[in-house]
Amino acid sequence: GESVGLHLPTLSVQEGDNSIINCAYSNSASDYFIWYKQESGKGPQFIIDIRSNMDKRQGQRVTVLLNKTVKHLSLQIAATQPGDSAVYFCAEINDSGTYKYIFGTGTRLKVLA
Amino acid sequence: SAVISQKPSRDICQRGTSLTIQCQVDSQVTMMFWYRQQPGQSLTLIATANQGSEATYESGFVIDKFPISRPNLTFSTLTVSNMSPEDSSIYLCSASEGDEQYFGPGTRLTVT
């Protein structure tokens, strides 16, 4: 099926290497951030979240880093696997109470065998 | 986490017609959202749909074009009215549990 990542920036990583996907967010007042993974033909899937009172959070094989000074968010994937190939979006909530997300532009991750 | 289904999964429609997309959540949720995702692009919020109140539309989206229903805490519909080829897109619904949002698989709409 048609990929949702046709025109998005692409990161190519060798299988087994670590991946770092970056995101710049828009609002310094945003207090909650999420990374989503979207595979072709599917809806976004929650990976990991972080609140603004933290600068790092770890999950299983994934780590999110938050730098509020420069409004930057990154997703690190350890030992990248072919199943990690997808489009990755960051999202921020910048209007607390409305639960409305603002999505970043997305990055397509390609894992090379 | 909430499990969300959408119907139809895809459709091809003629310009000038309307399509209603259904979104079903497996648990009761207060807030549901509708997004549009054009090919190769990110997600854009169309509207927020809360049960018992009118949907709240984002800038650039209007009720006449995208009427939304939210009859109960597990279901919502989005209608794409008087379609044109520019409406060809993926339409996604999501449900909020606290700060986290869970997404349906999307409806891929092609307007010819």
Q: Give pLDDT, residue B60.
A: 95
Range with lowest mean pLDDT among A85-89, B43-47, B50-54:
B50-54
Contact A2 B39 (CB under 8 A): yes
Chain B residues in contact with A10 by the CB 8 A cut-off are none
Range B10-29 average pLDDT: 97
In Å, what is the CA distance from B62 to each residue of A56, B7, B40, B47, B91?
39, 22, 24, 9, 15
Contact B42 A5 (CB under 8 A): no
pLDDT in tens, B90-111: 999 999 887 788 999 999 999 9
| A19-24 and A62-67 beta bridge pairing | unpaired
- CA B71 – CA A45 distance, rounded (Å): 26
Q: Give pLDDT, residue A96.
A: 61
Percentage of residues of chain A with pLDDT beyond 70 = 91
Encoding tokens for residue B104? 């349906």
- CA A92 – CA B42 distance, rounded (Å): 13
Range A33-55 average pLDDT: 94
User: Could you tell me which chain B residue has the CA closest to the CA of A92?
Assistant: B99
Chain A residues in contact with B39 by the CB 8 A cut-off are 2, 4, 6-7
| Nearest in space to A45 (alpha carbons), one of B84, B4, B78 | B4
